[in-house]
Each structure stands twice: as structure tokens, then as C-alpha cells.
């Protein structure tokens, strides 16, 4: 289990999204930076769709109540474990009673914390992603308790080193896809948009 001491500005549990319910007006939801969320899970050998903690602009302060492994990807929010700086994009061993905190935002906007086996929050419509009017809770609150799986440190196997291109975090381009109304724009507007 993880105890939330401080939730941060807007922290929520997300996976890759809620699919197959759009005809009923249910949005996909899911992680805003699916690439970083999936990479954090890959570093731990998790399923790419395991639930992660998405932190926006400011990070949380969390106390681990069991041993586990974590990985933090995406924005650099000056992560510290027991007041010691830790690296992004790397598997980190965490022991019971360790405190993970985040400080100054150095780059990016959203950071993703993956834990071994993913967060075990409620599943609604085949997803653990928090979303307004879909799940009971849309963000974390102080004193929340997040369920995770425990493991024996001695049994954890290291996975191969994974290289990850972080250049997209500093990119100012926005992907644009032609929607059903694209043809109603004149050629000049289409070119400007693209």
C-alpha cells in the first residue's frame, strides 16, 4: 500500500484508456502522455496498460508501506526518495516506510510513476483510469491509500536496458488529424492548420 501525504496539483490514476464505450458517450480518458506511461511500465516488466500515477505540474508526496520497485518517466519534477535525488527512466527499489517526493518542475508537464504490477484501484468499464462521472474519484486526496502488490526484493529480476527518446518532451509541434469537417475548410485554412 502507498499512503498519500500530499496529492500534488492534479494527480490521478491512469492506464492507456477506456475503449469500446464511445458510442455510449464514455470518453477514452487514460494517460495524457501514453508514451511515458508505457515506458515506465516497460522498465518494470509490467503490462503496458498497468495503471500508473499521473502527476500534472507538481508532484505528490507518498509513503510506501511495502517493498516494491518504481519507475518515473515523463516530466522531470525533481524526484527524491527519502530526500535523496533519484533518476528518471530507471527502475528504483523502494522499501517499506520510504517517502517519495517531488520538487521543482524542470521540464515537461506530466510525470508518471509506475509501481511493480501497477496500481490496484477500482476497474470501471475495463479501465482503472480516473475520470469525472465515470469513477468515484477523479484525483488523489491527502490520506488516500493506494493498493499495490508486494514482492521480495531478492526475487526481482533486472530487465534489459531500455533506451527512450525524450526529445518529444521539448517539442512544440501538435499532431493534427483530419476530422469529418476538414473538407469544409478552404485550402488555405487546411494548409495553415497542417
Residue 182 lies in a domain: no
Between the CA atoms of 122, 125, 130 and 133, what dihedral angle is there, to the nearest 10 degrees? -110
- Note the pLDDT tens digit of each residue in 131-188: 998 889 999 999 999 999 877 655 555 555 566 666 666 667 777 778 888 889 899 9
Residue 87 inside a domain? The answer is yes
Q: Do the Cβ atoms of 107 and 75 come closer than 8 Å?
A: yes
Count of the separate structural domains present in the chain: 1
User: Does a structural domain hold residue 65?
Assistant: yes
Model-level pTM? 0.82
Q: Return the DSSP state at 164.
A: -
Say if 183 falls within a structural domain.
Answer: no
Window from 20-34, 43-57, 104-118 with minimum mean pLDDT? 20-34
Domain membership of residue 179 (yes or no) is: no
Tell whether 172 is covered by a domain. no
In a domain, 192, yes or no: no
Structural domain including 109 reads 2-166
Is 181 inside a domain boundary? no
Asked if 13 and 52 count as a contact pair (C-beta separation under 8 A), the reply is yes
Q: What pLDDT digit, counting tens, does each position of 47-99 carry?
A: 999 999 999 999 999 999 999 999 999 999 999 999 999 999 999 999 999 99
* Cβ 84 vs Cβ 131: under 8 Å: no
Contacts for 42 with CB less than 8 Å, ≥ 6 apart = 48, 159, 162
Amino acid at each position: 500500500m502507498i499512503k498519500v501525504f500530499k496529492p500534488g496539483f492534479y494527480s490521478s490514476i491512469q492506464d492507456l484508456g477506456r475503449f469500446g464505450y464511445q458510442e455510449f458517450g464514455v470518453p477514452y480518458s487514460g494517460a495524457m502522455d501514453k508514451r511515458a506511461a508505457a515506458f515506465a511500465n516497460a522498465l518494470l516488466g509490467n503490462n503496458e496498460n498497468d495503471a500508473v500515477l499521473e502527476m500534472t505540474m507538481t508532484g505528490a508526496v507518498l509513503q510506501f508501506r511495502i517493498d516494491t520497485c518504481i519507475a518515473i518517466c515523463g516530466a522531470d519534477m525533481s524526484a527524491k526518495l527519502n530526500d535523496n535525488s533519484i533518476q528518471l527512466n530507471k527502475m528504483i527499489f523502494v522499501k517499506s516506510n520510504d517517502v517519495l517526493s517531488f520538487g521543482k518542475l524542470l521540464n515537461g508537464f506530466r510525470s508518471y510513476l509506475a509501481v511493480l504490477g501497477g496500481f490496484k484501484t477500482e476497474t470501471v468499464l475495463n479501465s482503472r483510469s480516473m475520470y469525472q462521472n465515470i469513477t468515484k474519484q477523479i484525483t488523489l486526496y491527502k490520506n488516500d491509500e493506494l493498493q499495490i502488490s508486494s514482492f521480495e526484493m531478492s526475487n526481482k529480476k533486472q530487465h534489459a536496458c531500455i533506451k527512450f527518446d525524450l526529445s518529444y518532451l521539448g517539442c512544440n509541434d501538435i499532431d493534427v488529424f483530419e476530422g469529418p469537417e476538414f473538407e469544409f475548410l478552404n485550402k488555405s485554412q487546411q494548409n495553415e492548420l497542417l
